[in-house]
């Protein structure tokens, strides 16, 4: 269960706004941070951020703030609120207590050797969001006129209530920003997923059943292509662990994210067996199910499971298959379970030919390739399934 931390900046607080501009909006070069950190923290930050600038924030060190800070874990939600608006949304990547780093990052604008902001946390996936704080109040059960002061941690009982109803605050607030409806978890959702299996017709077949060599080769080729293009787009990439060695052997590709689970909480068990996932820091950016020869149903079932546990996800989901399988996808989307979950509105069909076109257009460097390019080339089949 992820914690939710809220940092309040009173309107007109010039010092807070200067610091916000310096270390959140502009972010901080790693070479300013690393001299003030130990080796384990540096490795952690390099794993999450690479060589990219890092968003950093801090709080005053005192008994109340320290108690909240001690609860903070990677993947926890962080909101920065200015006046009545949520200004920033992000996730905790790591934390440290460091007076030296605080002095490096944040000077007291009025001079004097006053206390610094020594409780420091590094923020992954920061998004400037401008959503009314009253939205958060409704979600976590605060009164709409709840008055924030400094550094707040949402109480455990409120978190338990929130996560019994909703999947993910980060996704919900992004949906609110985009004017999308927020969905609650199904009332009878099971805690554990059904065993993942490939399905032929209506009969499940164990995932370990060997594919025909040609079909396996084509499936691995498409996985490798999507993984390679994901890296070209600057994404971290993942394939199921059972597939990674085969992809490496066939295509000399091994640039997989080493640990998939970090920061993704309960969604992990529904995502880690999807054929290809593009990921940035603590955020999923796209998921691809390659259906070369197995039943289309199996890929849609994985996406249905994901929709059940994370109904407010807004990243694209792709079924990638030969063009001749398009009608089979359309047929499966009208199954009652998929219609009930509105899977057709979430999933797009991407043919092998379209993937090849994208790959050929951007060439070996892949410069300019992105999730948006794939979304623009994929087909929306929902209008055919009304």
More confident residue, 183 or 376: 376
Q: 238: Cβ–Cβ under 8 A, 6 or more apart, which residues?
A: 256, 257, 260, 272, 276, 277, 279
| Predicted local distance difference test score (pLDDT) of residue 183 | 82
pLDDT tens sequence across 148-158: 888 999 999 99
C-beta neighbour count of 352 within 10 angstroms:
19
Stretch 274-286: mean pLDDT: 85
Regarding pTM above 0.75, the answer is no
Which backbone phi and psi does 157 adopt, to 5 degrees? -65, -35
- Residue 189 confidence (pLDDT) above 90: no
- Residue 79 confidence (pLDDT) above 80: yes
Alpha-carbon dihedral sign for residues 49, 55, 60, 66: negative
- Residue 205 confidence (pLDDT) above 50: no
| Predicted local distance difference test score (pLDDT) of residue 157 | 94
Cα–Cα distance for residue pair 34/3, rounded to 1 Å? 26
CATH class, 4-177 region: alpha beta
| Predicted local distance difference test score (pLDDT) of residue 2 | 87
Structural domain boundaries of the chain? 4-177, 198-384
| Sheet bearing 236-238, strands edge to edge | 236-238, 276-280, 283-290, 317-321, 347-351
Kindly state the DSSP code that residue 129 receives in the 8-state scheme: E
- The least confident of 68-82, 286-300, 364-378 is 286-300
**What are the contacts of 24-32 at 24+ separation with CB within 8 A?**
24/55, 24/56, 24/57, 24/80, 24/88, 24/123, 24/126, 25/128, 26/53, 27/52, 27/53, 27/54, 27/55, 27/56, 28/53, 28/54, 28/55, 28/56, 28/105, 29/53, 30/54, 32/104, 32/105
337 neighbors 365 (Cβ within 8 angstroms): no
Residue 185 pLDDT grade (very low, low, confident, very high; cuts 50, 70, 90): confident
- Residue 378 confidence (pLDDT) above 70: yes
Stretch 166-186: mean pLDDT: 84
Stretch 92-99: mean pLDDT: 94
Q: How many helices (H) and strands (E) does the chain have?
A: 17, 13
Average pLDDT over the chain, rounded to whole?
83
- Residue 245 confidence (pLDDT) above 80: yes
pLDDT tens sequence across 267-279: 566 678 889 999 8
pLDDT tens sequence across 116-146: 889 999 999 888 888 999 999 999 999 988 9
Instruction: Return the percentage of the chain with pLDDT > 70, whole number.
Output: 85
More confident residue, 305 or 295: 305
| Predicted local distance difference test score (pLDDT) of residue 253 | 92
pLDDT tens sequence across 43-57: 999 888 888 999 999
- Residue 302 confidence (pLDDT) above 70: yes
More confident residue, 352 or 259: 352
| Predicted local distance difference test score (pLDDT) of residue 199 | 36
124 forms bridges with which residues in the sheet?
Answer: 91
pLDDT tens sequence across 5-42: 999 988 777 888 888 889 998 999 999 999 999 999 99
- The least confident of 27-31, 217-221, 287-291, 340-344 is 340-344
């Amino acid at each position: 269960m992820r914690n939710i931390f809220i940092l309040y900046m009173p309107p007109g607080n010039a010092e807070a706004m200067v610091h916000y501009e310096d270390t959140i909006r502009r972010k901080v070069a790693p070479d300013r941070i690393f001299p003030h950190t130990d080796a384990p923290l540096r490795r952690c930050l390099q794993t999450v951020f690479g060589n990219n600038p890092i968003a950093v924030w801090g709080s005053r060190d005192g008994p109340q703030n320290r108690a909240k800070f001690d609860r903070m874990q990677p993947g926890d939600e962080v909101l920065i609120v200015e006046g009545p608006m949520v200004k920033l949304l992000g996730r905790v990547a790591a934390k440290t207590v460091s007076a030296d780093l605080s002095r490096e990052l944040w000077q007291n604008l009025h001079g004097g050797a006053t206390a610094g902001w020594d409780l420091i946390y590094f923020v992954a996936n920061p998004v400037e969001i401008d959503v009314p704080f009253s939205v958060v109040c409704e979600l976590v059960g605060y009164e709409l006129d709840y008055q924030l002061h400094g550094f707040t941690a949402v109480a455990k009982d409120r978190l338990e209530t929130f996560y019994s109803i909703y999947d993910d605050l980060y996704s919900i607030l992004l949906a609110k920003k985009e004017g999308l409806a927020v969905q609650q978890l199904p009332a009878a959702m099971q805690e554990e997923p059904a065993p993942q299996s490939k399905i032929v017709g209506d009969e499940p077949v164990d995932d370990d059943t060997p594919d025909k060599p040609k079909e396996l080769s084509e499936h691995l080729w498409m996985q490798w292509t999507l993984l390679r293009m994901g890296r070209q787009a600057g994404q971290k990439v993942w394939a199921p662990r059972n597939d990674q060695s085969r992809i490496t052997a066939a295509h000399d590709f091994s640039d997989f994210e080493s640990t998939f689970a970090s920061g993704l909480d309960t969604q992990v068990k529904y995502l880690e067996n999807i054929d290809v996932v593009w990921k940035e820091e603590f955020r999923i950016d796209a998921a691809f199910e390659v259906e070369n020869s197995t039943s289309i149903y199996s890929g849609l079932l994985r996406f249905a499971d994901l929709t059940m546990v994370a109904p407010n996800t807004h990243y694209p989901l792709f079924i990638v298959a030969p063009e001749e399988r398009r009608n089979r996808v359309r047929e499966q989307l009208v199954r009652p379970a998929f219609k009930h979950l509105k899977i057709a509105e979430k999933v797009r069909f991407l043919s092998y030919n379209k993937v090849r076109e994208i790959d050929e257009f951007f060439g070996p460097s892949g410069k300019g390739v992105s999730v948006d390019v794939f979304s623009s080339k994929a087909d929306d089949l929902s209008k055919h399934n009304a």
